[in-house]
Structure 1
């Protein structure tokens, strides 16, 4: 019977399960939706039991598709920064899963910043004080839902490990610990001072291990037999970086979707330059690999908006229209519809279209919409390249990465080749590869590098003078989007 790794990719809206063979091939997959609740404006939460039920459903569908395959180990990639608490004795959730999108602790974050704590928090964790990160949300849960004498606090990976192991293991990996803002990146340990600052007891936090590590074995998981090693855990963006084989300092990836996640590996912990964050990408054999990260709020989601604005039937029609002109004729579209993310981080900025003349038409606006995506990516990479001393191979994934026209614009604006992945399940592959390392399916990173399935590089074609002119117009438009508010 063929052996395979079962990778669980626990996303914000869906739970996926993927079987990955020893040759790196995806043999089968299953998915199940995860419902989200919005009890108040700005509040976003999920039900912990619903997440576990969706995970079981996805696993069941995946295994049913290939009953001839033996699961040799399990890897987990998960939505980051969502946090929950549960009763250590019973395993029952105490309150909701407060997701990474939730802003219920905005006031608490502002109070901590006003008290002057943010510089020290960034120096230790690489992260700014923001309601996206877990510590103020964990404190909120403890204040409003701490109804048990012995409580576990964890991110979603910890919750899955707990349930897969039948409540025997409360653990996480360093990549997820690094996103809690309670973990000192340089020391590689939970920080007593940060726990005290945020009001979170260190005793409630999970044990921290490498990303490739046998955390325990399955017991009473329902859809899986007992005794299967739970052999990796890693945040989803980190998993995608690992799945691309970005093993050398400076290697990076761009995940395109509603927004965009931009990451590049760095060899050591560096306090992040303004506009981006530093995190632990993964940990192997007790050694952490670090990464810079920048999160762009509006990326490919600008395309259907522009399509509707121009009265076009589809995004494909928008792309066809954009390619009827060689440039945007000075038109610039800033997609700050919900504010600006990295590297500007201005929540009050708003979108605009500038540079209009009587010579400009719908095709120029369409092209400007596509160009807004690589412009934003370039702003993040410029900071990363300067701080890291250069950029290596840049891999791209997500649905929009299949669009050759858009990826050509990305290469042009970066003035650097980009490498599309043939498989869009980069997070699942990263989790599977780590689990395979932990259990001996693959011996080392060199073997994993040979599994990578990539399309040919897309090289930059734009003339330097044109690139400089377009970037200058872009930065003027960005300034207007902030100042015009």
Structure 2
């Protein structure tokens, strides 16, 4: 039986799945990845541990696979905006992985904004200047790398491709390149102008390739036959969109996890206004499909935090408690590392608002769960103001998407149906489908869309939406107020 081995390298763990020619999931495996916080706002990972976790996930997956499986190709989906540096000759890491959550380059980004570069960077890349994106992080890594070495810089897909091919290939896909802040989005090439702005050596960057195609062949990968082709690479959020078959303009998805990614496909390139970004969803045959995206920095990550605060046994108990809350409770803004889309305010801070002596534990729990839906609402409002097509089908994925209460809140706030899919491996499946396209297993997008057509549609229901959104807006306003030191009080 022919199968595709698809790796999904995420922020907290690495997963591997085997996908059959019929699109069925045959086996899976996973392995955790550690995260360290050297200073407040700094978030990093060990590149060697990331590769080790991928190998462990592959081993766990293959251990449970049917005996008659032949791995025909490798596919990669990966956490985005995280970036690292290594020696081009030896493959030795020359620094940590700077996570997409890391804010250590906030001052450098503020300086670029103050010097008036925002409009030009947005026009070229579709992205705001923000510590989330790799441009300033790459400069930070270069400044601290040993001198006299020939270095390679790259997002996690390029690091994994390096590891899979024993250093023979230095490449990334267009979707990951589009999140780097040094890609000219319209021309689909690295921008010398942006490399100069961030003081990056363009020669250290990987070659940009289609999301489905040749990324080299494996060498010395435990459990994998040498010479197995790597036929897909794509950012995890883009991969989930592809895996859902969201191929029509206006179709979209929300991936719920540590943060959340909201993405909708576009009929053509549209320069974004502040609040959201334009990105490459995927590139096939040299032709990019563009999408609007809003990146929410903290989403479901606030749930276990609140579980501990309230002394509850688990997240399920928190959600159950939230469902009992009386209306009219407090607001909560999960700005633990600032706010992402559509605010992009690094100085925002997490807070509860409108608390009084009658506030209950259930209402506080509800404020935290509601914040997940409210943030998605704000991103969609920004997208709707610029969308030429309106919204089509809206899919939800990630662990929290399986909770009916949470997704009902999302549908109610958006006043738009959401399609709940039992697809915990949505990103890995999307990458596998892209590899299958390159391999010829599936002939076109219509065939892929038919592989995963089921889902549970959650319709919005009348609720106290406007009152709750008003409480949320008040909390956001308080979260983004200038500090006393900055306004002279």
TM bucket (normalised to shorter chain) is over 0.9
1:247 positional shift? 0.8
In 1, Cα distance between the equivalents of 2:254 and 2:92?
A: 37
Q: Which residue of 2 aligns with 1:233?
A: 233
Q: Which residue of 2 aligns with 1:47?
A: 46
1:335 positional shift? 3.2
Q: 1:154 to 1:405 in 2, by over 3 A?
A: same
What secondary structure is seen at the aligned counterpart in 1 of 2:22? coil
Aligned: 1:456 with 2:450: no
Q: Which residue of 2 aligns with 1:349?
A: 348
Q: 1:162 to 1:258 in 2, by over 3 A?
A: closer
Query: Please, which moves more after superposition, 122-131 or 27-36?
Result: 27-36
Q: Is the 8 A contact 1:77 1:236 kept in 2?
A: yes
Structure 1 residue ranges (4+ consecutive) displaced by more than 6 angstroms after TM superposition: none
Q: Which residue of 2 aligns with 1:467?
A: 465
Q: 1:74 to 1:104 in 2, by over 3 A?
A: same
Query: Please, which moves more after superposition, 108-117 or 433-442?
Result: 108-117
Aligned length: 481
1:311 positional shift? 4.9
Q: 1:47 to 1:474 in 2, by over 3 A?
A: closer
Query: Please, which moves more after superposition, 257-266 or 227-236?
Result: 257-266
In 1, Cα distance between the equivalents of 2:192 and 2:79?
A: 25
Q: Which residue of 1 aligns with 2:204?
A: 204
Q: 1:116 to 1:156 in 2, by over 3 A?
A: same
Q: 1:460 to 1:57 in 2, by over 3 A?
A: same
1:305 positional shift? 4.1
Query: Please, which moves more after superposition, 241-250 or 81-90?
Result: 81-90
Aligned: 1:253 with 2:285: no
With normalisation by structure 1, the TM-score equals: 0.92
Q: 1:245 to 1:480 in 2, by over 3 A?
A: same
What secondary structure is seen at the aligned counterpart in 2 of 1:282? strand
Query: Please, which moves more after superposition, 55-64 or 4-13?
Result: 55-64
In 2, Cα distance between the equivalents of 1:335 and 1:194?
A: 32
In 2, Cα distance between the equivalents of 1:246 and 1:57?
A: 31
1:433 positional shift? 0.6
1:61 positional shift? 2.0
Q: 1:91 to 1:482 in 2, by over 3 A?
A: closer
In 1, Cα distance between the equivalents of 2:28 and 2:431?
A: 14
Q: Which residue of 2 aligns with 1:58?
A: 57
With normalisation by structure 2, the TM-score equals: 0.92
Query: Please, which moves more after superposition, 312-321 or 114-123?
Result: 312-321
> Unpaired segments of 5 or more residues in structure 2?
484-489
What secondary structure is seen at the aligned counterpart in 2 of 1:462? coil
After superposition, give the CA deviation of every residue in 1:377-401 in whole Å (9 maximum; x if it has no partner): 1111011122113111111111111
Query: Please, which moves more after superposition, 316-325 or 162-171?
Result: 316-325
In 1, Cα distance between the equivalents of 2:308 and 2:319?
A: 13
Q: Is the 8 A contact 2:418 2:458 kept in 1?
A: yes
What secondary structure is seen at the aligned counterpart in 2 of 1:4? strand
Q: Is the 8 A contact 1:87 1:148 kept in 2?
A: no
Cα RMSD (Å) = 2.2
Q: Which residue of 2 aligns with 1:6?
A: 5
> Unpaired segments of 5 or more residues in structure 1?
none
Q: Is the 8 A contact 2:253 2:264 kept in 1?
A: yes
In 2, Cα distance between the equivalents of 1:52 and 1:321?
A: 39
Q: Is the 8 A contact 1:421 1:453 kept in 2?
A: no
1:484 positional shift? 7.8
